[in-house]
Structure 1
Amino acid sequence: MNQPLQSGGASHTLNRVTNVVIALVLLLFVFYAIDSWQKVKAREDQHMESILVLMARTLDTYFLSKQAGMLTLAESIDKLPGGPGNRAGMQHLLEDYKKHRQDISLAFVTDMRGQFLASSHTRELGQLPSIGEQPSFQVFLSEYDNTRGIYLGRPQLGMLSGQWAFSLRYVLRDRTGKGVAVLTDVFPTDFLVSVWKEVPVVERLVVGVMRDDGYLLSRYPLPPTIRKEDVFGKPRTGALYSYLKRHDFPWYGRVTGPTALSGGDDFVNVFYRLESFPLTAFVAQPEHQIVYLWFAGIGTPLVMLILLLVSIKLVSWKLVEQARRSEAERMAADAALRASEAEQRFLIDNLMTGVVVHDAAGTVLRCNNEASKLLGLTFEQMTGKHLIDPAWRFLNEDGSTMPVTDYPASRVLTTRQPVKDLVAGIVRAEGADISWVLCRADPWMGAAGELDQIVVTFVDITMRRKLTSELEDRELKFKALFENSMDAVLLTVPDGRVLAANRAACQLFGLSEAQIIARGRAGLTDAADPRLHELLVKRAEAGRAGGLLTMIRGDGSRFTVEISSSLYEDSQGGRYSSMILRDMSERLRSQAELEAANTEMRRINEQLAEVAHFDMLTHLPNRVLLSDRLQQAMAQSARRDKSVGIAFLDLDGFKEINDRYGHATGDEFLVVISKRLKSVLRDGDTLARIGGDEFVAVMTDLASEQDCEPLLRRLLQVAAEPVQIDGHPLQVSASIGVTLYPTDSSSSEQLVRHADQAMYLAKQAGKNRYHVFDVVNDAAIRTKRESLEQIKAAYRRREFVLFYQPQVNMDSGEVVGMEALIRWLHPQRGLLGPGIFLPVIEDQELAIAIGEMVLEMALVQMEQWQGMGLPLPVSVNVFSRQLQQEDFVQKLQALLAAHPSVPPARLELEIVETSALQDIPQVSSLMHACAELGVRFALDDFGTGYSSLTYLKKLPAQLLKIDQSFVRDMLEDRDDLAIVEGVIGLSKAFNRKVIAEGVETVAHGRMLLSLGCTLGQGYGIARPMPATDVPRWLSQWQAQQPWARRLG
């Protein structure tokens, strides 16, 4: 009977589901907003850092070029007759200086009291008051540390221009070192504007540079509502300067906090300290601006979220209203149905025919007492069950299980047609009697023609069915046993009596049917045959049995038959058995002979297979079977899209067990360990022993590398557990190397080797652990190793040669020397430049051997040129690894001694600037020792490192080589031109020679000569050439007009 629906249940459920959906959507949006915030912050940080690096490099280059220009100007003033006392001369120099320095506001010279001596603005000289009393000049005098560097002053308001500016000052000294005058360059504080105002990447950002006392030298953009006096006239006290001062002005960092120039708003500041000056460059932006960018990114999703939530709520409200109306309608219909059921119950409960009423879905609505009795269920158990409920089961008329689709109610549901006179058996419970019924099922249609109910009626025909079955059983019994059977058939009962025998059975035994019946089973079978008991037991349990059995003929002879026996019951419950017999004597004899031969062959094959595929000690697969299993696993991996793990396991400490307790104990230990290891692996995995204490495990069907980690940890655990042998607790650990296919797509043999390599790394890391093979790193190492082996072979075959590039004085045309450049004369690839092979060997011992070979070849060539009347100086590049050798000086001295005709002064060693800076004290000491031998030094690629004036002073290099990357692009790149100009200025300030690499055109030569650099080398002069071509080139070069005239 249907129960009334609880009012409001569906609507309440819909409300709860709606609230859960809204909560989940809100939670997902919160996660999205947090992730978006992190990405916006990371993007802005990266943007600010890239601007900061560019800004710091630009400022360093800018101030270095200004410093070089001031040093050059100071040197020119010192060379004037009377030095700083020659006011007219200084006036002329300052005016010329200002013409070439458009970025400075004013350049002037004062005495040490601040009185003007000369100015770049001639007409205003008389109008300029003394600056001796100005605070900035007084601070300069108090802070200037009497060194020969450049001083960066505080910003101040210009006396004539009325603009804020800062100054660079340099003290001019007399021969005693006493300061006699001050050279000052004045720069506007808005010098950054010209650099950054056209750069779109600076939009939204603030850039600036600050002194260590907190004064800003420049800031872009300026705050629109704050006076310049408040920007440049006061030291900064915000979060950035406080952080710098508190941490002793670190090189780099990031700080967030308020700044007075922004009204106290929090700014995100990224700063970088200049390498050559006590200044800090910074890039900042308001924190609320980052928040705005973040909010702009999530604005659209937020609007969509609100619309989505409103839509969900509206749809939910609509569904709840519909559910409430449906519930009310169902409750009314249910009440009417219950009233109808009460009326029908009285009528059907008194019928002798079983009646079951189903609804249109097949569910039982009601039944009467007779139906409950036939189905073996109470009224309460029946109500609400479906027609396919497992509580009952129907049989076809032949006793087979009736498919659910053939149930009477199922047929009506399918066809909408009545079912009549259907015979079916009803199984109420296991072991209970089956009730047979005659069924009828009729559809009851509703007013609209739809199926409303199904009425099924049952009439009990069990007794009639039983009588009919008994007659049919008796007929089938005799037909099945005797009709035209070619086999011997006996009909028996379980106690061994024979009820009947057919003709074939009489012929088989040589007895009549009566004699067979008289003998019974005991007289026909050999009681000594154990198979008889087994057959009877099996038949009793399973209802049928078969096999071979020894029987006795009428003459007493024994023979073997193949027997098939089955048990069955008649309609009264009597138990019978049929026995079908076939004579197997001849066949068994042949089979016995064949089986003997096959048995021997199998034994031999099994022994061969065991030896060929299994380890004789542990009976685990050996290398051969491992290879086959691994290849199968690799093929299976491709089909299933899974990975295969190959683990190479080596026992740590097993040798000590063998040495101490003997090989017999060691073998027994290996057997125990192998069993433990195998127990860890899964079905389908393989464990093989491939050596004394070496095992390989193949783990299949791995979804990822993490899937094999529990197995590896368990292998380590069981390998380390103690083993008791003869009262001795023996214990080892294991080291495991692992590689995964197809991540490592090598062959099966290579996979095992890779796992072996990873195992050795596990041992090196401390044993009792596992290590996963690194495919990418191994490929890179293998490539580098192959290249290194090729270079070693080239060194042994003397395939390296030296080419020579001339170095000339571009002013006079004089050839001042040659640079020795190594090349590889490859037998297949031809002539290779140093960029192909030098990076491979720079950190290898081979670099030392090749470097010494180059020195030897250069000295030999210098001897040959000496004999030809060509006393050419030669510069040779030296590897940084050579400089790290303690006996470098001794080896160099031995090489010079082996070539006494070569003056040491003609040999110049070039060291890269970055190599020299790795260990300044060691390199400086080595260079001084070589200089005592007469050898000269040059700093190669100058300007590409991060050297300072202090380093340049400490290294006794006579020559600076300007890197060709700056020289080549200086005609188009102002920054490169400024660097070239700065290096030339530094060489003059420190009294060093300078040579420019990369002189490719006449225009390069003209520019270098105008900057004061006379020495050069490059394609514009000559390409590197073999030593045999040098004499011919020299004769042609000397026959030409001087280089300087060519430039004109």
Structure 2
Amino acid sequence: MKRHLADIVTHHLDRLWPDSKLSEAAARMAEMRISSMLVMEGGSLAGIVTERDIVRAMSAGMALDTPVARLMSTQVLTIGHDVELAAAFRFAVRHGIRHLVVLDEHGQPLGVVSESDFRFHLGIGFFAHLSDVASLMGQNWIQGTTDSPLSGVLEQMVETRSSCVIVTRQDAPVGLVTERDVVRLFGEGKQAALLGEVMSSPVHTIRSNAALTQAAAQMQILKIRHLIVVDEQDRLVGLLSEHDLIHPLEWMDEEFGRVATETQDRLRQLMNTIPDLVYFKDLDGHYLDCNEAFSHCIGVARDAVIGRTDSEFMSAGQAESHRLRDAEVIAAGKTLRSEGWVTQHDGQRILMEFSKSPVMDPGGACVGVVSVARDISERKLAEKQLRLAASVFQFAHDGIYITDGDAFILEINRAFEEITGYHRADVVGKKPDILASGKHPPEFFAEMWDTLRREGYWSGEVWNRRKDGELLAVLTTISAVHGEAGGVTHYVCVFTDITALKLNQRQVERLAYYDALTQLPNRSLFTDRFRIALAQAERSGELLAVGYLDLDDFKPVNDSHGHPVGDKLLQEVGQRIDRCLRSGDTASRIGGDEFALLVTGLRSMAEAEQAMARLLAALAEPYLIEGLSLSITASLGYTLFPYDDGDGDALLRHADQAMYAAKQGGRNRYVCFDPEHDRRTVEQKELLRQVENGLAAGEFQLYYQPKVDMRQGTVVGVEALIRWHHPELGLLLPHDFLPLTENLDIAVDIGNWVLKEALNQALAWRKAGLALPVSVNISPRHLQDVDFVPHLSALFEQHPELDAGCLELEILESTAFEDVALVSEVIRECAALGVTFALDDFGTGYSTLIYLRHLHARVLKVDQTFVRDMTHDMESFAIVESVIGLAAAFKRQLVAEGVETAEQGKMLLQLGCNVAQGFGIAEPMPAGQIAEWIERWRPDPLWRQV
């Protein structure tokens, strides 16, 4: 029958108010031995105060008269009283809470259910699917000596969320101080007490290899919430709390929960199929559990039996008889048998055989009595019961086998054959090790047999092997059967096939935390390990390298050989990366051909660099995949914590940026992230964004610098130069922003804008009666754009009044000679439109006569650095003289840039260069000032002397 919260709720009739004092809360909780109290305000639930809150208050040194409102939890989860017990438990653990407020049908608080309530009422069988105590016990417990002050451990309890402190004397556990003790002491004002003065003693212990069902039973019988875990030499090895016992159930997936529930149901069904009366009582005579046979005999439902005594549902004489027999068993400390007449609830008297045994804890103390009563009044009924038992054995879904006292198999059931693949003839007369898988060490079985001899049963998970060699995981319980003389006559083993569950769990874990292709940790597991690695690096002071690796030209492998080959290449790459790392390091495939790295425990930057170099060298070795020899390299960026003192996201982002720098630097290399370089990059990106916005907002303007014929005294053209009216920085010159755009698409947008503005201005001058050729500088990125010539042609179509000869395009000498074929083709196509070209900064070191012969640029512009220094530097003079001679030889026009003095102009005229520009002639100016300047300009008198 399913139980609901209304059946188990602890009714908190005594409530607190927000202004109630902490001392009052502690005193009431200690008096009523409850772990929480509700706080009400105006008839509504305002919050809840728990034992842990009182511990926190005591640790913080709060005064006894502090109102509970300062400490209570206001975020309280509630649930209806009609919710089924198991569903309520799943709700509680899913939200990670220990106390659940139960509401009645009117939505008013009815009481509270806690972990203790769930553990007690779910029953011992609910934990049968779990393993031994060692699998759940806490190994990092809080410990203090008897002369340690209580105040010294309270802060540790708050920080670690521990529910108790183990008190030791000469390293042996002698007592416990629990949250409930702290609540009592707080109410009594004993914050300054020593642990030895306030501890609960003696302690209750359990062996680490004991089954968790035994731990659950011991807690239930003794009505305690903590067990100290000891090894075979009774040495302290851990602590098991009821929260430890409950906690694993919260991460059980639905399939595991279903198997556990089915196992519990089968165990109860099996016990209920036994015709004998089976029941359990604690030392006070209160019933803990019983089977249906017992319930039927006394005429009381099982749920109504739990917690009651014999005197509540049988005659005083019978109740006293049972009490005396139980007392004899407890005093003797062993199993006692007796016979007696029993009157059933229907009035029928039957003769029963009683077998009563003491339930002992690991320390040898009796904690209760288990009784089995058999009706021996009718032998035919006994025979029927035997047939029923045989049926259960044969048709049970769990595998069962029975051995003799020497562990030779005597009988198996049908499920045994179905699960293992072995037939009866294969195994009868042999020992169970015929099923051994080889996955367990000899110590495993030695401990199992030691437990069987000592306690009479053993329970746990075992990996066996089927007849066909396939591995088989089983949840196994082995019980020893004793004869009348007390010796073991048989062993009964019951096992459940959980292979699918174990494999499913392993697969789920693998899918959740590992990359399906490379089997390296995925992003989720990498993030977890990243957090741990950062914490370790902070504590140790050692360096942590965070890397980001991307394969070079991986896409051509997929395109040329197909994705199956690409996948195998990625698998081999993952294996090589993993081999290059140490056990404490982590490599993760985070997508495509990208990998993230954590290299821990580094002592220097040089050690980090060696690790990265070793990794890239390993990846560059040839790969043999499906008969193909493939070669591939990688680009790797990394950053070092704490030199780069960012959080996890920032560190990975910086490693990614360094990887891109490695790509841009030529690939097959590693680059360490430079925080200062990153700062400059951020500033450059911001400036680029402002350039894009400024272009859209019309913040750019063209200035024009005149070019003159010094010998003729005439203006022969102007050069268009861009300026940026920055809204914050003022007027910016080209060198302040154009270098940032050189290799980006925006260079094309800027160049097209300059061409359009220059042609518009040339047309405006023409309409004003001023025929003035315009020179425009073309960036390398703009010149290489496939739409350069078509766009230029379209502009002239929009300005039919203009002669294409009014436009001269200036390109850097370095750009022209980097790709002579491309530049020559562009010059040829532009020449067909009537547009001419000039080589800017000519003479800076790239000039090649062969190339110059193929580049039909009409004008050579002498670089301003040579012109500026020619009057006092013989090398600069010689270069200018050579360029002038070269221009004459190739019949090219010549323009000297950077003329700042009349003497420079005179020297150029003497060498044969007539056309010049520079600040000594005119600075760049807005278009509106050009006409007036031309009217006023006169050549320098010094030039007329040449």
TM-score, normalised to structure 1's length? 0.34
TM-score, normalised to structure 2's length? 0.38
**Relative contact order (alpha carbons < 8 A, sep ≥ 6): 1 or 2 greater?**
1
